[in-house]
């Protein structure tokens, strides 16, 4: 089964409803947990999405923004053999505009990033589906679609 888990912190200066809305761009969450971080005014939110349909937002945004190759190179460089999950960060502020921008470090997103974890029994196939190779800026789409 394909699973996407999103995690971020909600700071007092942020509107919790807006943070929930931007995460809901990924679809209908199977699970959503908001927690208080002890001894701080900061909260955290984690949402879990299941199924291929949960990947549609990422699939469409990386093509619209022409960032397929950047994501592909970043993830493949960090992919461990036989891993069933991989985590990366996206800019939370940019996500409020409905776009996905990769963060290499948490400091690239001033109010903290959104951590995205992709999990699949065939993770490489999922990565190849979401972020296929490109040639001269053209995405070389695969005919193989990962199974839920």
Spell out the domain ranges in the chain. 3-135
Q: Check if the beta carbon of residue 58 is closer than 8 Å to that of residue 86.
A: no
Query: What's the pLDDT tens digit per position in 23-50?
Result: 999 999 999 999 999 999 999 999 999 9
Q: Of the candidates 8, 35, 5, which has an alpha carbon nearest to the alpha carbon of residue 19?
A: 8
* Other CB atoms within 10 Å distance of the CB of residue 2: 22
CATH 3.30.1440.10 fits 3-135, yes or no: yes
pLDDT score at 73: 96
Q: Distance between CA 29 and CA 19 in Å, rounded?
A: 14
Place of tokens 């945004």: 61
Q: Distance between CA 7 and CA 19 in Å, rounded?
A: 11
Q: Strand, helix or coil at 24?
A: helix
Three-state SS string over 36-66 comes to ECCCCCCEEEEEEEECHHHHHHHHHHHHHCC
Question: With 0-12 CB in 10 A as exposed, 13-18 as middle and 19+ as buried, what is 112?
Answer: buried
* CB within 8 Å of 69: residues ≥ 6 apart: 131, 133, 134
Put simply, whether the predicted model's pTM sits higher than 0.85 gets the answer yes
- Cα R_g (the chain), whole angstroms: 15
- Mean pLDDT, the chain, rounded, equals 95
Query: What's the pLDDT tens digit per position in 51-81?
Result: 999 999 999 999 999 999 999 999 999 999 8
């Amino acid at each position: 089964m394909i699973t996407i888990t999103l995690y971020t912190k909600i700071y007092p200066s942020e509107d919790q409803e807006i943070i929930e809305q931007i995460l809901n761009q990924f679809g209908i969450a199977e699970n959503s947990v908001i927690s208080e971080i002890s001894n701080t005014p900061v909260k955290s939110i984690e949402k879990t999405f299941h199924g291929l349909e949960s990947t549609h937002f990422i699939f469409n945004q990386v093509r619209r923004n022409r960032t397929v190759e950047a994501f592909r190179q970043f993830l493949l460089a960090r992919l461990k053999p036989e891993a069933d999950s991989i985590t990366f960060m996206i800019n939370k502020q940019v996500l409020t505009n409905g776009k996905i921008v990769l963060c290499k470090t948490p400091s690239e997103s001033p109010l903290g990033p959104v951590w995205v974890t992709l999990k699949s029994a065939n993770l490489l196939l999922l990565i190849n589906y979401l972020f296929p190779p490109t040639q001269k800026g053209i995405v070389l789409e695969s005919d193989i679609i990962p199974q839920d």
